[in-house]
Amino acid sequence: RDSTVALASALERLDPRACELSADEAERLVGALPRQELLRKLAGFGTHPGEEDQHLRDIERQLMPLAKLPRLSQRLRLLVLDKTLNDRLQDSVRQMSLLQRACGAVRGSG
């Protein structure tokens, strides 16, 4: 539960450096999240009389901090983007370099 609270806090602040999830883990979490309406229902739990945490299953208690975040899946996707940005940038630079060399070779062959 503590790690879920820390993750929710990092996502709320949009602070990827405070998040210990890898890009792959964040992508898997996006795929494993319950539907949005179920998350909304979970986030609203406890607002009615008689609703207490002890009535929730363990997984629901663990998801509660995340369920309360607006646009959770979008925040996780931003986390994935941030965690993969350097690799994507390096790949783009390599591809651009190859393209520049190919263009130079074509110009030089004429």
Query: Is the residue at 108 inside a domain?
Result: no
10-68 pLDDT per residue, tens: 999 999 889 888 999 999 999 999 999 999 999 988 777 777 777 889 999 999 999 99
Residue 103 belongs to some domain of the structure: no
pLDDT at 109: 87
Contact (CB, 8 A) for 79 and 29: no
Residue 52, in any domain of the structure: yes
| Residue 38: inside a domain | yes
Is 74 part of a structural domain of the chain?
yes
pLDDT of 99 strictly over 80: yes
Is the pLDDT at 110 greater than 80? The verdict is: no
**Domain annotation covers residue 6:** yes
CA distance 91 to 82: 15
Residue 101: what residue type?
R
Give the Cα separation of 36 and 34 in Å (integer).
Answer: 6
Range of the domain at 39: 2-84
For residue 91, tell me if it sits in a domain: no
Task: Calculate what percentage of the chain has a pLDDT beyond 70.
Answer: 97
Q: DSSP string spanning 7-35?
A: HHHHHHTT-GGG----HHHHHHHHHHSPP
Report the alpha-carbon distance of residue 34 to residue 57 in Å, rounded: 14
- Residue 1, pLDDT above cutoff 60: no
What was the pLDDT predicted at 2? Answer: 65
Rounded CA-CA distance 84/70 in Å is 23
Position 24 scores a pLDDT of 94
Exposure on the CB side of residue 48, measured as CA atoms within 13 A: 7
What predicted TM-score, i.e. pTM, was given to this entire model?
Answer: 0.75
Does residue 42 lie in a domain region? yes
Domain count, the chain: 1
- Would you say how long the chain is, in residues? 110
CA distance 87 to 36: 31
Report the share of the chain in percent with pLDDT over 90. Answer: 77
DSSP symbol at 18? G
